[in-house]
């Protein structure tokens, strides 16, 4: 069984991942309403990834006979000043999640919970990718600030996700 403090914090992180899911869903809806189908599709996909992260954490707790508690989440931001603002928010969110993941690794390490520390390694790699992706997207959107340029970039650089065979198993999958 995972260390009690790790279990408590991982349950909180499940809520953080679900909140990230909802935020990306709100961003996707915003871009859909702005008739930016590629950005909408990109953020719908990001929303599903965040949900999957929560489900992976749930499955880990189930696999280790730890208690799963699904926390409530606050409503996401759904109104944005321009087409760049949601991307800024997404980058801030990914940086915050990176800090949360690092905290979980630290807790597992301090508790000598080697299985939990190993489980979190994939999430560390994932966060490096997510921060880089949102940082690049923000740079392009800030530089271009025109809808066609942003849509073209997303179509070219993010045309479809390949599954990662090293990803933890998600509950219900």
Q: How high is the pLDDT of residue 137?
A: 92
Q: How high is the pLDDT of residue 157?
A: 78
pLDDT at 76 over 70: yes
For 17-46, letters b (16+ CB in 10 Å) and e give bbbbbbbbbbbbbbbeeeebebbbbbbbeb
Most confident of 55-59, 81-85, 159-163: 55-59
Q: How far is CA 116 from CA 4, 120, 131, in A?
A: 11, 6, 23
Q: Is 143 exposed, middle or buried (0-12, 13-18, 19+ CB in 10 A)?
A: exposed
pLDDT at 171 over 80: no
**Structural domains of the chain sorted by starting position, each given as residue range(s) with its CATH number in brackets:** 4-157 (1.20.1260.10)
pTM of the model: 0.88
d(CA 128, CA 74): 25
Question: Taking residues 51-55, what's their average pLDDT?
Answer: 97
Handedness of CA 25, 80, 136, 41 (dihedral sign): positive
Question: Taking residues 120-149, what's their average pLDDT?
Answer: 90
pLDDT at 60 over 70: yes
Longest dimension (CA), the chain: 51
pLDDT classification of 162: cutoffs 50, 70, 90: low
Q: What is the phi/psi pair of residue 69, to 5°?
A: -130, 120
Q: How high is the pLDDT of residue 168?
A: 84
Task: Find the DSSP H helices in 2-161.
Answer: 4-33, 37-63, 85-110, 114-144, 147-157
d(CA 106, CA 10): 12
Q: How high is the pLDDT of residue 160?
A: 63
d(CA 43, CA 23): 9
Question: Taking residues 10-21, what's their average pLDDT?
Answer: 98
Q: How high is the pLDDT of residue 25?
A: 98
H-helix or E-strand containing 75? none
């Amino acid at each position: 069984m995972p260390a009690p403090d790790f279990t408590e914090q991982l349950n909180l992180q499940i809520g953080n991942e679900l909140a990230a899911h909802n935020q990306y869903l709100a961003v996707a809806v915003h871009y859909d309403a702005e008739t930016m189908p590629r950005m909408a599709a990109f953020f719908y996909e990001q929303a599903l990834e965040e949900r999957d992260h929560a489900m992976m954490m749930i499955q880990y707790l189930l696999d280790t006979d730890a208690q799963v508690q699904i926390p409530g989440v606050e409503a996401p931001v759904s109104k944005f000043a321009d087409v760049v603002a949601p991307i800024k928010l997404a980058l801030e969110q990914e940086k915050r999640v990176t800090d949360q993941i690092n905290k979980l690794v630290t807790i597992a390490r301090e508790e000598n919970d080697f299985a939990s520390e190993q489980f979190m390694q994939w999430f560390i790699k994932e966060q490096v990718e997510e921060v880089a992706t949102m940082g690049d997207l923000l740079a392009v959107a800030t530089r271009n600030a025109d809808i066609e340029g942003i849509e073209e970039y997303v179509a070219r650089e993010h045309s479809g996700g390949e599954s990662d065979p090293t990803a933890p198993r998600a509950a219900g999958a």
